[in-house]
Structures are given as C-alpha cells and as structure tokens.
C-alpha cells in the first residue's frame, strides 16, 4: 500500500513539474484560432507552425547571439573573480572576521531588489560611457552573477582537502601553480555547475538590459519576449514558441554538461 | 588643385553631417508601437536623409528608461512618448523642452492639448497629444431593452440595472464588469466612480482627500458592484473585461478605453455587434468627468536633435497621420477634424461620444509621484474588495499612507 502511495506522490510531483512544459509545447504548436476558440485541450487538434513562423522576422538570430555573448561573458568574468575570491575566503584568515562581513555584504547585494542598484549603476555606466554597450551590460550583470558564484564556489573549494595543497607546496609549488594544477582541476565540476547557473541568471536578466540598452540591434532575448505580453493582450502562441526557442540553448548546454553538473551537485552536498 | 581639394573636403563633410542626422524615439510596444512604426516609416519616406531609430518598450519599462535617461542627461532620446501622469515629474525637473509656437493648432481638442502646457493652461506647450485616450462607460443596449431599463445616468442607476440584469438573465450573464487587479487597473476602474460622487484622491491644494463621506459612498457603491460582476473579477484586467463585453457575458463595463473597443462591432470577434453603446461615465453629482489617459510626444531637454524632433512631433500629430492611425491601428485621435471625419465615424460609431468625453475630460491628479500614490490606493482597494478590511478602514489607511508620500 505504502509503495503505491509513494508512487502516486512521485508521479503527482512529476506531473506538477511537467504539465507547464507540456502546456507550453502544446500551445506553441496550436493554430491561432485553436488557441482562442477551442477549450483547454492539451493535444492540438492540428499541428501548426504559425507561432514559430511569426518569430522568424530576422531579429531573432541577432538577439540570440547578443544574449549568448553577454551571458557567456558575464559568466566567465564572474567565475574568474569568484574563484579567487572564494579561495581567499576559504584558505585565509582575515582580521576582525572581515571575511564573514564580506560574505554578508555580498549576500545583501544579491538580495537587494535589482531596481535599487539599477539607478546608481545607470549613473555609473553613463559616467564611464558604457551605456548601450555590451561591455556595460556584462559588468552590470556581475551584480547578479558574482555574489551567486562566490557563494556557490565557497562550498566546493571548502571540500578540497588542505593536505593535497600542502603536499604540492612541499614539492615547491607556489600559490598560482597550486591554484592552476591542484585546486582548479579538483574544483572543475563545481565550476561547471556554477557556470551553468550563472549563465542561466545572465540569460534571463531583464531589468538591466531594459534600462541600459536603447538600440534594438543590441537587445537581448528577455526584452524580445516581453513584446508578446502587451496591454492589448497576450500573444500566447508566440510567447510559448519563443519560450521553447529561448530555452533550447540553455537545455543543450545543461545536457552537455550534465555529468559535470551531477558531480558538482554531489560534491556540493558532501 | 588645392582649392578643389578644399571644396571637395567641405562638400564631403557637409554630406557626412547631413547624413549623420539621427532621431532616436522612445516609444511603446503593442498597437502603439505599430502605430509609431507607421509614423516613422512615413517620416522616413519624407525625410530620407534622417536616420530614425525607434525603441519600443513595454509601458512600465518605458517610464523607467526615459526618466533615468533624462535624469542623467544622457541625450539618448530625441523624442519620447509619455503618459500624461508622468508629465508633472518630468516638467518640474526641467527634463522637457518647450515646443515652438508653430506646433500648436486650433484643431486639437483643448483639454488633451492643455495638459501638455506648463506651469498652467496658458503657458507654453511641452508635449503634444498623440493618443486621445479617455475612459468611457460601456453598456449593452439590447440587454437593457430586453430588461426594460433606461440608459443609466448615475452610479445608483448603474447598480440598480446590474441587479436587475443579474436577476433576469442566464447564469453566465453578469450585470457589470470591471478591472479588479491591484495597482493601476483597480484604481482606474474606481476613479470614474470616485469622481462621479464628487470626491478625489487629491484636493486642489495637493493634499490627500480620500477620507471623506463622498469617497466612502463611492467605495461602497464600487464594492456593491462586485456581487453583479463575474466570479473572480478581483483578478480581471483589460483582456478579461474586453472578452466579457465581446462575448456578451457582461452588460456593462465601468471603464473601457478606446483601444479595447474597436472589435465590438467586428462579427469575427464579437457576439454583440451593434448592441454595445459607449458613453461618458455616469455621475452621481454634477456633470460626468471622463478620465483622460493621453499619451503625449515630447522632446527631452537633453535631446541632441531638437529641431528635427519638433518637425517629427508636428508630422506625427498631423491630421493625415491621425486619420490613418485611427482607421488602421485603432488609435484614438486628438484632433476635432478627425472625430468629425465621415469615414472615421462610419468605422467607429461612438466617436462623437468619445470626442465629447475628451472635451470635458479630467486628467488624473497632477502630482509628481502619481504612480506611487496609485499603487498605495490600489493595494487598499483590493484588500477591501477581498473583504480584508472595511471601506472606512481602507480609505483612512490609504489617506494616511498617501499623505506621507505625496509630492506636489
């Protein structure tokens, strides 16, 4: 009995998570008429690509390229800084618990509503001449991605036994060598897992790109998606179609990196 | 030889300078975006040397984007599209440029044009009305006739009609519908009733004035309407209101905007072709005060190309463009001549009523932070609607909170 109950709960939980995705695919492949006039049927009466065709207006490849470039650059910058920051926070002792204070400050920045930091950041970007530039956006995204990467890498680096590093040091490896040949390889699964999540953060970012970019050819995917939900109504077909299209690169990346991701998770949970 | 080279260089640089004329326009998405794209395309045809960039933003993002840009004097935009409620903040901060006298035209309906003047209705114009939005009241004449009810002229009559229709009609037909989502939707749904009872959010001195017997009467009437509205009206927004009217499942709507109604007479989209009437909202005391929701075009003080921007504004609000926007995009005009145009009126039979409503229209309070005030009022309205507090408590607490934040 308990086994059936267990199965029932498992399948209910699976259905709960899968249903919105099934709904997204189903609506994306319905014809515009069916979306509005038919009932809430999950399976389209007739498969239609009209919603996908509506997306092919020439802008989409540029927007995908912009988003990939910005999210990838923001992730690389974050990982580089966060790796060294997390290592220092784990291995060094700071006076007056400054390390804890720093981590708390980082967490506070992460927890702040983005609009609070958007105004001073806008001012800063304007002064530096980085408004409406991809570099400006990559730097602005650090507000989201850097605190996340520092906190996530912290646990991965903490799990690397100090003895391995000490052995390398006794063999004459200086700090940078130890970081490059000992810490980095051991931390690689964690770095991959962190990179994927940071990439997703950058991929989905909306507010900063809305405020800092004002040239349509530099827009990112989330700005494009917002066009389908307007005061005049919601273009459900196109919205679901762009939902699928914009999820694909992230799904492909996560799928490719899955084994690292799982190893990363298992390391992080130790 | 040297002279020739000099002349050639001068010509080349002159050509380069004229080719470099650029106009960056911050506009909106949806039908407003399509309409603006049409204007840009037409202007481009007439001025091929101008390089025009249209940046389409969602309504909310547009405010943040243009206000930050003007605050930081980035010079990013030469022309901006703005809601009239943003104007007090923009104007008091000197973020907009006064427009040349030539852009003024007697053909513009006065009330929408005058809200672009600063500091008073006799001063210079800083913005031109592009979209003549005005909140109207919709009622289904066929349903009213079937129930032997006269056209309502007060909110009490609206309530009585809703009650009768609900009692006499099928289960899926409701007496009335409105937007109940918190924030801007529920406030704009409530304001016509509040004004109709002679109350207001802010008095003439810029102080919060919600804690009054008139406001309480208005809120009580508003809450009473919920029992004759569809189930779940607390989460209704523009889409649901429009669908209810088009499907014929609601006989009245407290507040409809011109962009919601073009399909009421479209047999492919509507079950109530020819049945719906649109008029200025009723008033319990005094004359009706339809709410203006004008979208204006303005030139930021930090714009890089003000002369061309002024020319664009004049072009965008010209009679020919306004007529095309009305006919092809359903954008309500701001010129008298378009409302009297036979071709336009034959497409939108309620335009004469709409023009009358625009003439007597009332703008929302001219305070700097209307969005903040609206958000506070919206929260309390929805709490009352959900039965979490009494109308007295809601008005008293809204009054207290609004008094603390209001900026005149």
3-state SS, A62-114, equals HHHHHHHHHHHHHHHHHHHHHHHHHHHHHHCCCHHHHHHHHHHHHHHHHHCCH
Closest residue in chain B to residue A215, using alpha carbons only: B55
pLDDT of residue B120: 86
* A119–B30 C-beta distance less than 8 A: no
CA distance A254 to chain B (A): 31
Q: Are residues A151 and A39 in the same domain?
A: no
- pTM for this prediction: 0.83
Distance from C-alpha of A155 to C-alpha of B362, rounded to nearest angstrom? 60
- Split into its structural domains, chain B has a count of 2
Contact residues, B window 32-51, toward A, CB-based 8 Å cutoff: 33
Residue written as token pair 């002369």: B307
| CATH number of the CATH domain containing A123 | 1.10.3720.10
Q: Are residues A127 and A194 in the same domain?
A: yes
Q: Which residues of A touch B76 (CB under 8 A)?
A: 131-132, 214
* B76–A214 C-beta distance less than 8 A: yes
Contact residues, B window 216-245, toward A, CB-based 8 Å cutoff: 238-239, 242
Contact status of A214 with chain B (Cβ, < 8 Å): yes
Q: Are residues A61 and A43 in the same domain?
A: no
Please name which of B232, B234, B245 lies closest in space to residue B276, comparing C-alpha atoms: B245
Residue range of the domain that includes B280: 136-291+364-405
Q: Are residues A98 and A219 in the same domain?
A: yes
What are the tens digits of pLDDT across the range A70-104?
999 999 999 999 999 999 999 998 888 888 899 99
Q: Are residues B11 and B65 in the same domain?
A: yes
What are the tens digits of pLDDT across the range A7-58?
999 999 999 999 989 989 999 998 877 876 656 677 888 888 988 988 877 7
Distance from C-alpha of A47 to C-alpha of B271, rounded to nearest angstrom? 28
* B24–A231 C-beta distance less than 8 A: no
Q: Are residues B53 and B182 in the same domain?
A: no
Distance from C-alpha of B312 to C-alpha of B39, rounded to nearest angstrom? 9
Q: Are residues B278 and B388 in the same domain?
A: yes
Contact status of A132 with chain B (Cβ, < 8 Å): yes
Distance from C-alpha of A32 to C-alpha of A237, rounded to nearest angstrom? 7
What are the tens digits of pLDDT across the range B60-102?
789 999 999 999 999 999 999 999 999 999 999 999 999 999 8
Q: Which of B27, B64, B266, B295 should be substituted to probe chain A, the one whose Cβ sees the most A Cβ atoms within 10 Å?
A: B64
Q: Are residues B182 and B114 in the same domain?
A: no
Distance from C-alpha of A81 to C-alpha of A75, rounded to nearest angstrom? 10
What percent of the residues of chain A are helix, what percent strand, and what percent coil, each to the nearest 5?
Answer: 80, 0, 20
Q: Are residues B250 and B346 in the same domain?
A: no
| CATH number of the CATH domain containing B193 | 3.40.190.10
Decide if A68 contacts A56 (C-beta within 8 A): no
Q: Are residues B179 and B274 in the same domain?
A: yes
pLDDT of residue A261: 66
Asked whether this complex has an ipTM greater than 0.85, the answer is: no
pLDDT of residue A216: 85
Q: Are residues A151 and A261 in the same domain?
A: yes
The rounded mean pLDDT for chain A is 88
Looking only at the bridges linking them, the beta strands covering B51-57 and B22-28 are parallel
Distance from C-alpha of A169 to C-alpha of A157, rounded to nearest angstrom? 17
Q: Are residues A199 and A254 in the same domain?
A: yes
- Split into its structural domains, chain A has a count of 2
3-state secondary structure of A195: helix
Question: Which residues are within 8 A (CB) of B50 and not within 5 positions of it... i.e. 6 or more apart?
Answer: B21, B22, B23, B43, B44, B308
Least CB–CB distance from B64: residue in A123, A132, A211: A211
* A123–B72 C-beta distance less than 8 A: yes
Q: Are residues B177 and B68 in the same domain?
A: no
User: How many contiguous H segments (helices) and E segments (strands) does chain B have?
Assistant: 17, 8
Q: Which of A229, A230, A236 should be substituted to probe chain B, the one whose Cβ sees the most B Cβ atoms within 10 Å?
A: A230
Q: For residue A119, how far is the Cα from the chain centroid?
A: 23
Q: Are residues A62 and A39 in the same domain?
A: no
Looking only at the bridges linking them, the beta strands covering B136-140 and B276-279 are antiparallel
Please name which of A162, A163, A165 lies closest in space to residue A179, comparing C-alpha atoms: A165
Q: Are residues A197 and A101 in the same domain?
A: yes
Decide if B136 contacts B357 (C-beta within 8 A): yes
End-to-end CA distance of chain A: 33
Q: Are residues A29 and A62 in the same domain?
A: no
Distance from C-alpha of B357 to C-alpha of B255, rounded to nearest angstrom? 13
pLDDT of residue A33: 77
Residue range of the domain that includes A29: 4-48
pLDDT of residue A265: 59
Closest residue in chain B to residue A206, using alpha carbons only: B61
Q: Are residues A40 and A66 in the same domain?
A: no
What are the tens digits of pLDDT across the range A198-244?
999 999 999 999 999 988 889 999 998 888 888 777 888 999 999 99
Segments of chain B scoring below 70 in pLDDT: 1-20
Distance from C-alpha of A109 to C-alpha of A115, rounded to nearest angstrom? 12
Q: Tell me the β-bridge partners of B53.
A: B24
Q: Are residues B243 and B213 in the same domain?
A: yes
Q: Are residues B278 and B144 in the same domain?
A: yes
* A122–B72 C-beta distance less than 8 A: yes
Contact residues, B window 66-105, toward A, CB-based 8 Å cutoff: 68-69, 72, 74, 76-77
Q: Which two tokens stand for residue A28?
A: 């994306």
Q: Are residues A38 and A82 in the same domain?
A: no
Q: Are residues B302 and B253 in the same domain?
A: no
- b/e B269-280 (16+ beta carbons within 10 angstroms → b): ebebeebbbbbb
Contact status of A258 with chain B (Cβ, < 8 Å): no
Residue written as token pair 């930050």: B68
Distance from C-alpha of A60 to C-alpha of A66, rounded to nearest angstrom? 10
Distance from C-alpha of A154 to C-alpha of A158, rounded to nearest angstrom? 6
Residue written as token pair 């036994």: A161
Q: Which of A227, A231, A238 should be substituted to probe chain B, the one whose Cβ sees the most B Cβ atoms within 10 Å?
A: A231
Q: Are residues B378 and B240 in the same domain?
A: yes
Distance from C-alpha of B107 to C-alpha of B128, rounded to nearest angstrom? 12
What strands, in cross-sheet order, belong to the sheet with B295-298? B51-57, B22-28, B79-83, B295-298, B127-131
Q: Which residues of B touch A232 (CB under 8 A)?
A: 30-31, 238, 259
Q: Which residues of B touch A229 (CB under 8 A)?
A: 58
3-state secondary structure of B75: coil
Q: Which residues of A touch B26 (CB under 8 A)?
A: 214
Q: Are residues A19 and A68 in the same domain?
A: no
Q: Are residues B183 and B195 in the same domain?
A: yes
pLDDT of residue A96: 82
Least CB–CB distance from A233: residue in B56, B64, B239: B239
Least CB–CB distance from B259: residue in A119, A214, A232: A232
Least CB–CB distance from B74: residue in A115, A126, A234: A126
CA distance B1 to chain A (A): 42
* B26–A214 C-beta distance less than 8 A: yes
Question: Which residues are within 8 A (CB) of A173 and not within 5 positions of it... i.e. 6 or more apart?
Answer: A181, A182
């Amino acid at each position: 009995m308990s086994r059936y109950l267990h199965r029932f709960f498992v399948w209910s939980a699976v259905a709960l998570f899968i249903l919105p995705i099934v709904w997204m695919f189903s609506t994306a492949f319905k014809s515009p008429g069916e979306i509005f006039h038919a009932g809430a049927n999950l399976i389209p009466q007739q498969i239609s690509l009209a919603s996908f065709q509506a997306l092919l207006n020439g802008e989409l490849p540029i927007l995908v390229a912009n988003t990939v470039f910005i999210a990838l650059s923001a992730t690389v910058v974050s990982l580089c800084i966060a790796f060294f920051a997390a290592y220092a926070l784990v291995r060094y002792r700071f006076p007056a618990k400054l390390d804890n204070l720093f981590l708390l400050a980082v967490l506070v920045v992460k927890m702040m509503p983005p609009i609070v930091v958007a105004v001073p950041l806008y001012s800063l970007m304007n002064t530096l001449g980085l408004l409406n530039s991809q570099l400006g956006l990559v730097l602005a995204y650090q507000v989201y991605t850097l605190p996340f990467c520092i906190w996530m890498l912290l646990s991965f680096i903490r799990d690397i036994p100090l003895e391995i590093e000490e052995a390398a040091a006794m063999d004459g490896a200086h700090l940078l060598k130890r970081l490059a040949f000992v810490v980095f390889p051991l931390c690689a699964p964690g770095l991959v897992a962190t990179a994927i999540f940071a990439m997703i953060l950058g991929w989905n970012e909306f507010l900063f790109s809305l405020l800092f970019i004002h040239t349509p050819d530099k827009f990112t995917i989330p700005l494009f998606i917002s066009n389908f939900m307007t005061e005049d109504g919601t273009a459900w077909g196109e919205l679901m179609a762009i939902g699928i299209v914009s999820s694909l690169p992230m799904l492909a990346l996560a799928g490719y990196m899955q084994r690292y991701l799982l190893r990363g998770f298992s390391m992080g949970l130790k | 030889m040297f002279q020739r080279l000099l002349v050639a260089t001068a010509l080349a640089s002159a050509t380069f300078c004229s080719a470099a004329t650029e106009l960056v326009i911050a506009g909106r998405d949806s039908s407003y975006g399509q309409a603006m794209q049409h204007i840009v395309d037409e202007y481009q045809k007439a001025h091929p040397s101008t390089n025009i960039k249209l940046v389409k933003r969602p309504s909310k993002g547009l405010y943040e984007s243009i206000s930050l840009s003007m605050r930081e004097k980035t010079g990013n935009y030469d022309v901006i599209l703005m809601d009239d409620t943003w104007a007090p903040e923009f104007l008091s901060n000197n973020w907009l440029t006064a427009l040349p006298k030539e852009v003024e035209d007697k053909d513009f309906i006065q009330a929408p044009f005058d809200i672009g003047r600063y500091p008073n209705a006799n001063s210079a114009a800083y913005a031109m009305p592009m979209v003549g939005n005005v909140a109207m009241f919709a009622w289904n004449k066929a349903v009213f006739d079937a129930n032997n009810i006269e056209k309502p002229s007060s909110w009490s009559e609206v309530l009585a009609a809703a009650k009768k229709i609900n009692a006499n009609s099928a289960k899926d037909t409701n007496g009335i519908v409105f937007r109940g989502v918190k924030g801007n939707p529920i406030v704009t749904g409530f304001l016509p009733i509040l004004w109709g009872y002679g109350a207001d959010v802010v008095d003439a001195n810029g102080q919060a004035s919600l804690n009054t017997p008139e406001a309480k009467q208005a809120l009580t009437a508003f809450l009473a309407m919920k029992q004759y509205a569809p189930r779940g009206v607390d989460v209704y927004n523009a889409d649901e209101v429009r669908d209810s009217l088009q499907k014929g499942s609601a006989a009245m709507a407290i507040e409809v905007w011109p962009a919601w109604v073009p399909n009421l007479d479209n047999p492919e989209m509507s079950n109530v072709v020819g049945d719906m009437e649109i008029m200025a909202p009723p008033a319990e005391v005094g004359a009706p005060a339809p709410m203006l929701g004008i979208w204006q075009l303005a030139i930021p003080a930090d714009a890089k190309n003000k002369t061309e921007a002024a020319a664009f504004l004049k072009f965008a609000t010209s009679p020919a463009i306004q007529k095309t926007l009305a006919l092809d995009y359903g954008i309500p005009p701001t010129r008298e001549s378009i409302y009297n145009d036979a071709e336009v009126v034959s497409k939108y039979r309620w335009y004469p009523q709409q023009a009358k409503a625009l003439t007597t229209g009332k703008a929302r309070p001219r305070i700097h932070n209307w969005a903040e005030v609206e958000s506070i009022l919206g929260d309390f309205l929805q709490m009352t609607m959900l039965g979490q507090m009494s109308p007295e408590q809601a008005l008293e607490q809204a009054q207290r909170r609004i008094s603390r934040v209001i900026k005149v």
